[in-house]
A and B are shown apart, each in its own frame.
Chain A
């Protein structure tokens, strides 16, 4: 009975509202492209069926009320393969959780397009290459954990612009150069950067070239 009353209520409410926003299937396409590049021995991506109306019913994918993909939760899922540039098309994504897998290859620079991203958790994988500068465009980012990978190169100095960043962990990589000290970096503990044998400690502005030995 209550359910029926609610249904009636809903019908009433819907009558006065405009049609709900419709998901673009671009997001589904992007996710499906990811599925195709990943190897998935545990079958966690089995429900990612492109025949379905939108990706919101796929497991490990969360949409908002307008059916836009806001979360991708594939942490600890035993997937391997590379991340690929397609994820850069999930422009509504807020949480990208790909930690503790066997992902390799580079972090695609296209992830810099995810302007709404709050959390970028790629830790404990086998990622190589540099940390893309483009990630400094992620103005909403609060959590960036790229630790325990095989990342090389320097910490983009532009990250000092990420004023909302609360947590960063770049430890246990092969980064080099110095650690920025501006902006949110003034509050991060040094353990967020430990075990990067070629990292020279905090940047001494005006004295040590940023890329020294890098």
Chain B
């Protein structure tokens, strides 16, 4: 994604261009070595090591004085060089093999070290340069180098020197170039380097230096190039940085520098290259940068700069590269940037820029790469961008762009990369896309692009990635796609494409990913699909493909995902699937496949995800299922599988989700299998089978499972207390079984995340434990149709999340709480409990043995007391008012009754319940609700939606005409009755014209009807909101429409 950083090149600039001064120096010494007479004047006196140390000691004490003594300095230089060599611990290339005192000694006293590799001297035999670049030297750097006071260049770039940088280098008054880059130097940058009065080039890049940038470096006023990139430096840019007024290259990138740029930064007007990238720098970009008239390269990316991009940058006419991506810049892209006619690279992606794209950018005709993606840019793509004929990369994805794709973009004939995905663009893809002959990558997914995919795209023969999913492209796939021989990635999923898959698409033999999912493609899958032997992802789910799955699919031996769900594939799964040994995901759900589950599937040992749900598979689950040891998702629901759960299923110890629901499985739920599924973290669904026997206690070992559904079986025995071990259970459905006994007392306090509990339709008895109040997150609770006795636990009224409660058809007795969920409960949730009393629609309680008032009594009493008090108050006011009125009466011109002074006339208002009572008919009740609530309730829309869906599915009018056993029914009651009779009931009421193919279809229809029913609930509060309706529908569509 990111441009290759031009660092290597910059770095060379530093090291190679360094020594203008050195050229002079080397030239001088070559002249020196060429002139024998000069050589002879030069005296060389060998000294002992001790003497050298002494001499150095003197030098250290009185450096300037020592420098003026040639004899002494020559030996000092020699000793310093020898110390340098001594500190080198490895010299793999023998670079320093010439560095011996004996060498050249015979040649008339000329100091031998001036001829050593990498060493150069001036005419006075003073060492001026040490240049040992990329020689593989390892070791530390001797501080004695600080004694070569005439040194002008020290270049040790690209070696393996480690340890600290000796602070003594700061003594090198003459040093113009110091290159220590690409080594292993550690520690801090010695502040003493700030004494290098002559330094012009300082390169410390590519080490592991720590600490801050010493502000003493600001004293190096001769500095032209300064680089510390790729170290571990921290702290701020020194306040005095502006003192380096001659700086033309400042490279601080790839450190951890933070803070804002200091005000003095504005003084660096000579800068040509500014690289602050990949630090933690923050604050605004100083607008004075517009005064840096020589500026060519600005790298400020990957920091935390904020504020806006200074429009003043438009004055930096020499800019060729402006990279400010991955910051926190806000506001506009300045239109002034259009003045930058030399600009080749403009990367501003990954900020929070929120303007339109300025049309003026069309004037930056040198641009090769324009990347504005991942901002919040609005408006349309300017037509003017079509003038950027040199452009190779144009990236505008992940913004808020709207409008159509300008045809002018197709003039950008040099484009190799074009992205404007994840915007809100609409309209067609321009037909003249054929002109983008060099286009390799086209990423335009997730917009609202429509119309046909232009046929001329087949001319873009360089294309290897075409990502066009999540748009509204319609019509058939164009012919000629087979010419895209470089195509590796083609994604057209989730559009509105129709027609057959063109045969020649299968000529794109280099395809690795082919995604046509979620369209309306028809016809059969051609056997030619077998030609796509490089394919690793084939996604055809959610279309209307029919016929058999071709045998040739087995040629796709590199496939890791084959997704064919939600089509109309029929008959058998071809045996050749066994060749796809790399397959990790196989989804065949929602087709019309039949026969026994094919053995070949169970040989695909890499399978991680397997869904064969909602087909017509029959027979038992084979033992071979245990081969699929990597399986984490297994869905075999909605088939006609019979037999028992094989013991071998216990080998699937990677499973997260197991769904065997809606089959004809029988026998006991094997505890041993459940015990082995301890990694089952998501979902266990065995509902709607014919399982018998108890719920195995091992179920408590599913510590992290989020949902368990064992409903609609024939399970017997009690609710196991071990369920308390399921410490992450959000949903538990044990309804419609034959469970007996009391609820385990300790269960609820452990199930504190439970949001949905359904134990209805069993034979559970005794009291509902009062610690049910521990279910702090419970939203729906259905305990109806059991044999629970005793009182309703008062704690239920305190569960603030509880929205839906059903306790009907038990043997509960005593007072019903008024508050919490009970204040909005419908009667149907309590009916069938003869002993309940005291609630708004129930008979009052008669407390034979109890003293005091009932709760209702208390309320009545309070109201009475309040009424008496109010009456007294009114009488008092009237009394005093009348007295005052009588006093005023003489002078008053008003003839109104005094009562008007006190009594506000009140309009007669109908209460909702009165209106409701007056409009008892169900559908009209909704009209009244609508009118009365004044603010338009979205719940009324939900209601209409629900009724509409029921009408659509049952092809019946909402009221009046339906009769069952002579009793008039509303549509809601009709549907409710049907649903309660199960799938057969649903089938009876469905529009006979509606073709329901599989049991899965039927169950989906039942789900939709249930949803519709809840939408049309009598009480608006009981209706879901549109968001949750939508999410339920989306979930259904996921189940039935594919992945």
A interface residues (Cβ-Cβ under 8 A, vs B): 1-3, 5-7, 9-10, 12-14, 16-17, 22, 25, 42-44, 46-47, 49, 51-53, 57, 59-60, 65, 73, 75-76, 95, 97, 118-119, 142-143, 166-167
Contacts and interface: CB of A to CB of B under 8 A. Distances in A.
Contacts of A13: 1026, 1029-1030, 1033-1034
Contacts of A2: 994-997, 1001-1002, 1004-1005, 1040
B584 interface: yes
Contact of B422 (A10, A17, A22, A166): A22
A25 B467 CA distance: 15
5 contacts: A2-B994, A6-B1037, A6-B1041, A97-B681, A142-B728
A10 B469 contact: no
Contacts of B728: 118-119, 142-143, 166
Given A59-B584, A59-B608, A46 B536 contact: yes
Contact of A17 (B536, B656, B1027): B1027
A108 B536 CA distance: 33
Contact of A3 (B561, B566, B953, B1027): B566
Contacts of A167: 703, 727
A43 B703 CA distance: 28
B590 interface: yes
A43 B1034 CA distance: 32
A12 B1037 CA distance: 13
Contacts of A143: 703-704, 727-728
A47 B584 contact: yes
B821 interface: no
Contacts of A3: 566, 590, 1001, 1040-1041
A166 B704 CA distance: 11
Interface string B979-998: 00000000000000011110
B491 interface: yes
A49 B1008 contact: no
B704 A47 contact: no
Contact of B994 (A5, A10, A22): A5
Contacts of B59: none
Interface size of B as a range = 35 or more
Given A9-B1033, A25-B398, A59-B584, 5 more contacts: A1-B996, A6-B1037, A43-B560, A51-B465, A142-B727
B878 to A, nearest CB: 55
B1031 A51 contact: no
Interface string B1006-1043: 00100000000000000000110111011011001101
Contact of A6 (B585, B1002, B1004): B1004
B845 interface: no
B445 interface: yes
Given A53-B491, A59-B584, A59-B585, A17 B537 contact: no
Contacts of A47: 537, 560-561, 584-585
A10 B398 CA distance: 25
B811 interface: no
B467 A53 contact: yes
A61 to B, nearest CB: 11
B654 interface: yes
Nearest to B1034: A65
B446 interface: yes
Contacts of B537: 47, 49
B582 interface: yes
B949 interface: yes
A17 B585 contact: no
B534 to A, nearest CB: 14
A43 B1005 CA distance: 40
Interface string B702-738: 0110000000000000000000000110000000000
Contacts of B584: 43-44, 46-47, 59
B226 interface: no
A131 to B, nearest CB: 21
Contacts of A22: 422, 446
Given A60-B632, A73-B632, A75-B654, A53 B1031 contact: no
Interface in B612-662: 630, 632, 653-654, 656
B949 A9 contact: yes
A98 to B, nearest CB: 13
A1 B257 CA distance: 63
